[in-house]
Structure 1
Amino acid sequence: MNVVVSTLNAKYIHTNLAIRYLKAFAEPDYHVELAEYTIKDPAINIVTDLYKRQPHVLGFSCYIWNIEETIAVVKMIKKVLPETVIILGGPEVSYDVPYWLERIPQADFIVLGEGEETFKQLLDEISGRKNWSEVSGIGYLEDGKPKINPQRNKLDLRELPSPFRFEEDKSELSKRVTYIETSRGCPFRCQFCLSSIEVGVRYFNREAIKEDIRYLMAHGAKTIKFVDRTFNISRSYAMEMFQFLIDEHKPGTVFQFEITADIMRPEVIDFLNKNAPKGLFRFEIGVQSTNDATNELVMRKQSWPKLVRTVTMVKDGGKIEQHLDLIAGLPEENYDSFRQTFNDVFALRPEELQLGFLKMLRGTGLRIRANEHDYVYMDHSPYEILSNNVLSFAEIVKIKQVEDVLEKYWNDHRMNETIEYVVTRSFNTPFDFFQSFGTYWDERGWGRIGHQLEDLFKRLQEFLHAEQPDKSEEIESIMKYDYLMNQRYKPRKPWWEPALDKQERSLLYQKILQQPLLLGTEFAKLGLTEKEMYKHTMIEPLSLSLVDGKWIKQNNYLFVYFEPTTGRPSAFFMESEAATSAS
């Protein structure tokens, strides 16, 4: 029997852990092929590839980000391979099963919840007696009516075979994100999350997990992401795994975790700050809201002071990047309250701040009680909210404007000094800057076109000229600094018109060659020749200078040297008066 398990990932670099567990559990009794695609692939291309495989059984792993594209593929596959048994599974189809059976009649079976044992048992019946009532945890049509068999008891995760030892995966490990889980379930009851439905936390075999990680690193895996809902729920377990990863890691490998920040003990952070190599770990922290009343309504227990302590300690340690998440649209969080939440979290200056919008997932308590807060949301995935009793659609549109520029101007770290200066000195709050700029951006249709790095600087320059003309010149000085310090090599043509002509630049270079200490002792140590100066440096007058990490008003020259081997830029400042007196 030819069995294929498939999914449509959001991006090529992603891999699907679920179908690998299905394959590992079904073998060696059944040979199972993996077939991964992306939601950007044309449906006809996916169907063509699957058709060539001629599967007797074809399974799809379904999520909110791929369900609509998967349905299109399923409908087409059933037309060209009508005898193929199609099985759907995954979190998106595990709830409201009668709805899915009616909407996707081309699907022969739907697997509910944890699928490894159910999938194998279903394969046994497909190849044997075809007694579907014997298979726990499936939904199907019987005499045109939905039939749902009760789910089986939870698996003993310690007995599950490894999903990582497949020969066909080896060549891709260095190119893609590898997902790994060491536990299933979540101890918390957040009503917007599917994890709130499963009671309790179960762990995999620790030693087997460690062997899998050793195997993955030995075969080139670079990014390994733990999908445990709360990796640090057990302090002793988290400490054991952190120590193992520090001891066993290979250079260039990054491990990502979803952690609950307010339960992380200071001694754990101290340990990581002292012992973890920089860049080895990355934390994802779901803050969602800092409004206590909102958190209480969604049964989310969160101590904001303890969360701030954790995030601050980690940031001060300088070893671990942090990605913090917010959700707009939670109960009783209006526009002003969300503005406060954004400013509270931005004040922590996380390396990434992800602004998301509430999705009314099937099976969650918030969707079941949607009428209590007058939620209006999309009928199809991703079920994103359109409004509720305290947040209008117009206000959601405004927050989406913030999301666009936040991603480009903060999370991508193209101009850190500029944004820091703007949000602290030019606008009342960080949110006000991102909202004003986001609205300006949207009104000009910039969200619908592509952008080179130079374009991003020009867009911000235009906005500042229009919004705050009295401050635009000094901010442009910082923008020029940011631009040059983010270049690998001397740019051929910067985004601004050079303020110095060829003769002025030559005069300054001659002064610097004669008196290199004008740019400080560190520059003088470089011992640059005239040829190296012209080939590998830029000089530009600014109205601000960076002194001890702070920008002060002072007319000066910014001199940037691009080291030719590494491309790494070094910045030096020279006061305009010093340059004049040196002549």
Structure 2
Amino acid sequence: MNVVLATLNAKFIHTSLALRCLKAYAQPEFDADIAEYTIKDPPMTIAADLYRRKPDVIGFSCYIWNIEETITVIDMLRKVLPDVAIVLGGPEVSYDTEMWMERLPAVDYIVMGEGEETFRDLLRELSGSRKFHFVFGLAYRKDGRTIVNPGRPKLDLNELPSPYRFPEDIPSLPNRVVYFETSRGCPFSCQFCLSSIEVGVRYFDMERVKADITYLIDNGAKLIKFVDRTFNIKRDYAMEIFRFLIDNHRGCVFQFEITADIMRPEVLDYLAEHAPPGIFRFEIGVQSTNDETNLAVKRRQNWTKLVRTVTKVKESGKIDQHLDLIAGLPHEDYDRFRQTFNDVFELRPEELQLGFLKMLRGTGLRLDADKYGYVFMDRAPYEMLGNDRMPFGDIVRIKRVEDVLEKYWNAHRMDRTIEYLVQKAYPSPFDFFQKFGDYWEARGWQRIGHQLEDLFVRLWEFLQADANPELDLELALGMLKADYFLQHKYKPRKIWWEDRIGKEEWAALLRIAAGRLGMDERELAKRAALEKLPFDYAAWTDEGRLSYETGTALVALYGGEGAAARLIALPLSGSPEGRRQANPVG
């Protein structure tokens, strides 16, 4: 049989671990071909490519992010390949399976749950006696009705062949994310998560894990993302892998999902001392800081210990942290979510992911939807539209926060400016992002694209229009200028603010900077961007003290090697010209 395993990834850079697990287990009996696309690819293009492969069996791996696009492709294939056997698998179709079989008449079979052995056994029956009732974990059609077989016992992970060693994958390893598992299952019971349904955690053999990672690094992998739901649940196992990666990383970066409040101090100390900067990234699900909410969704979380872990990791300067929040959980209204956001933002994670509750099939929270008054999308991704504490209007407002948070905090385009605004100028970080997000949407900016310069101009426009008495516009403009310079690897040709230095003042400033830096004026003119600020920039950035007694010559020095600018603040003696209102832009 000609077997094709296909999926639609969210992005081109992603790879499907599931397809490779299925392919590895089916060999050597069946040599399946892997076909990966993205949800942005035109359905006609995907269908045409699959048609060209002349498959006898096509298996699709289905998730909330690709199910609707996958259905479109399936419907097309059924019309042009009437005899092909179409198989679905993955978490999206492993629950409410009879509903899926009824909704999708073009689908012949659904593999439920852990799929390696089930899919292999299905292929055996398709090529043999076709006694599908022998295949545990399979749903199929017989005489016009759906048959759902009993589930399959859990697999022994150490009997599974490696999915990481296909020669055809080697050329793409340096340019794509490699997804890697060291375990399956989760010890926790969070009612919004599919992992809560599977009881217990199983581990792959340590020596096998090390051998597979070594193979991937040897063949050029640059980013390996561990998909374990709680990587650090077994301390000794996690520590051994941490040590191995530190000793053998060779520049590869590794990302883990960890539970921060169970991270032991000795593990944190070891990482702070031994981890090379930049090779580890931690993804930490906080979701809510409200005890009542966490109790309702059966989520155990010690906020004090979580803060300790995140703070210690941040202080080490070795590991970037990505913290997750979920808006729309039970017992959390708009004001309480505002507190959750501010609690987590106070930790200053490198990335703060603001997501919205998805009522996933099979989860306890979906089963209890009426208890909390949930309304949600009928089709994937099943995002909540409101509940008894948070109406749709509040969800829409928080989405505006998410939009500007992504652009202005997670992208780290203007950290100095944002830090000033959330610390000094607005009541809280959430209030700043909410007010700016409201302004952003009112201007229709969410419907148009933006370049780097646009982001600075739009924030500056908002700050001038906001008429916030706590906001020092001169200080904000100075921070924006500094951040703008630092976003460039070469001397910027374009300046977006209008209060630019005149030629004579610029020449005088150049002489001062060249003299203090011990550089030739002509060389400095080629390599540096200059700006004059009416306040002491160094006093503000180093001490948090705002002084207009001394101005600053801001020198952004570019090395010509494509590295970011080196920012130098030189004090300008003499009386300031007096406080002036910054000129408006545009």
Task: Map Cα deviations across residues 79-107 of structure 1 (whole Å, 9 max, x no partner).
Answer: 11111000000000000011100111111
SS for the counterpart of 1:65 is coil
1:551 Cα shift? 5.3
Which residue matches 1:520?
none
* Alignment partner of 1:546 is 2:538: yes
Match of 2:571 among 567, 571, 575: 575
Which residue matches 1:18?
18
1:549 Cα shift? 5.3
Hey, what's the Cα distance between the residues in 1 that align with 2:351 and 2:413? 12
1:574 Cα shift? 2.8
Hey, what's the Cα distance between the residues in 2 that align with 1:353 and 1:6? 32
SS for the counterpart of 1:31 is coil
CA 1:259–1:580 in 2, change beyond 3 Å: closer, same or farther? Answer: closer
What letter corresponds to residue 482 of structure 1 in structure 2?
D
CA 1:97–1:210 in 2, change beyond 3 Å: closer, same or farther? Answer: same
Hey, what's the Cα distance between the residues in 2 that align with 1:18 and 1:445? 40
What letter corresponds to residue 391 of structure 2 in structure 1?
S
CA 1:578–1:561 in 2, change beyond 3 Å: closer, same or farther? Answer: farther
1:562 Cα shift? 1.1
Task: Map Cα deviations across residues 485-510 of structure 1 (whole Å, 9 max, x no partner).
Answer: 22101000122125211122112223
Q: Is contact 1:561–1:571 with CA below 8 Å preserved after alignment?
A: yes
Structure 1 segment 226-305 matched on structure 2, within 5 A: 226-251=226-251, 253-305=252-304
Q: Is contact 1:68–1:381 with CA below 8 Å preserved after alignment?
A: yes
SS for the counterpart of 2:122 is helix
Which residue matches 1:374?
373
Q: Is contact 1:498–1:540 with CA below 8 Å preserved after alignment?
A: no
Which residue matches 1:537?
528
Hey, what's the Cα distance between the residues in 2 that align with 1:298 and 1:542? 51
Which residue matches 1:186?
186
Hey, what's the Cα distance between the residues in 1 that align with 2:114 and 2:375? 30
Structure 1 segment 444-455 matched on structure 2, within 5 A: 444-455=443-454
1:143 Cα shift? 1.9
CA 1:579–1:502 in 2, change beyond 3 Å: closer, same or farther? Answer: farther
Hey, what's the Cα distance between the residues in 1 that align with 2:33 and 2:316? 45
Which residue matches 2:142?
142
What letter corresponds to residue 465 of structure 2 in structure 1?
A
Q: Is contact 1:546–1:552 with CA below 8 Å preserved after alignment?
A: no
Which residue matches 2:56?
56
What letter corresponds to residue 546 of structure 1 in structure 2?
A
Which residue matches 2:557?
561
1:111 Cα shift? 0.4
Q: Is contact 1:187–1:200 with CA below 8 Å preserved after alignment?
A: yes
Q: For this pair of structures, how many residues does the alignment match?
A: 570
What letter corresponds to residue 421 of structure 1 in structure 2?
Y
Which residue matches 2:482?
481
CA 1:570–1:125 in 2, change beyond 3 Å: closer, same or farther? Answer: same
What letter corresponds to residue 173 of structure 2 in structure 1?
L
Gaps of 5+ in 1: 518-523
Q: Is contact 1:13–1:177 with CA below 8 Å preserved after alignment?
A: yes
Between 80-89 and 461-470, the greater mean CA deviation after superposition: 461-470
Hey, what's the Cα distance between the residues in 2 that align with 1:68 and 1:508? 60
TM-score (norm 2): 0.96
Hey, what's the Cα distance between the residues in 2 that align with 1:427 and 1:302? 29
Which residue matches 2:459?
460
Task: Map Cα deviations across residues 496-548 of structure 1 (whole Å, 9 max, x no partner).
Answer: 125211122112223444xx23xxxxxx3xx3212112111121111331232
Q: Is contact 2:278–2:318 with CA below 8 Å preserved after alignment?
A: yes
Hey, what's the Cα distance between the residues in 2 that align with 1:53 and 1:454? 46
Gaps of 5+ in 2: 578-586
Q: Is contact 2:509–2:553 with CA below 8 Å preserved after alignment?
A: no
Q: Is contact 1:254–1:281 with CA below 8 Å preserved after alignment?
A: yes
Task: Map Cα deviations across residues 104-141 of structure 1 (whole Å, 9 max, x no partner).
Answer: 11110000000000000000000000111111101122
1:468 Cα shift? 3.2
1:575 Cα shift? 2.9
1:579 Cα shift? 9.8
Between 552-561 and 422-431, the greater mean CA deviation after superposition: 552-561
Hey, what's the Cα distance between the residues in 2 that align with 1:331 and 1:512? 58
1:204 Cα shift? 1.0
* Alignment partner of 1:125 is 2:125: yes
SS for the counterpart of 1:6 is strand
Which residue matches 2:583?
none
TM-score (norm 1): 0.96
Q: Is contact 2:87–2:110 with CA below 8 Å preserved after alignment?
A: yes
SS for the counterpart of 1:173 is helix
Hey, what's the Cα distance between the residues in 1 that align with 2:374 and 2:284? 26
What letter corresponds to residue 506 of structure 1 in structure 2?
A
Q: Is contact 1:508–1:579 with CA below 8 Å preserved after alignment?
A: no
What letter corresponds to residue 144 of structure 2 in structure 1?
G
Hey, what's the Cα distance between the residues in 2 that align with 1:455 and 1:207? 51
SS for the counterpart of 1:553 is coil
Which residue matches 2:76?
76
Q: Is contact 2:283–2:321 with CA below 8 Å preserved after alignment?
A: yes
1:567 Cα shift? 3.7
What letter corresponds to residue 213 of structure 1 in structure 2?
I
Hey, what's the Cα distance between the residues in 2 that align with 1:280 and 1:154? 33
Structure 1 segment 255-404 matched on structure 2, within 5 A: 255-404=254-403
Hey, what's the Cα distance between the residues in 1 that align with 2:344 and 2:273? 25
* Alignment partner of 1:491 is 2:492: yes
Hey, what's the Cα distance between the residues in 2 that align with 1:192 and 1:431? 24
SS for the counterpart of 2:301 is coil
What letter corresponds to residue 538 of structure 2 in structure 1?
L
What letter corresponds to residue 535 of structure 1 in structure 2?
K
Q: Is contact 2:513–2:553 with CA below 8 Å preserved after alignment?
A: no
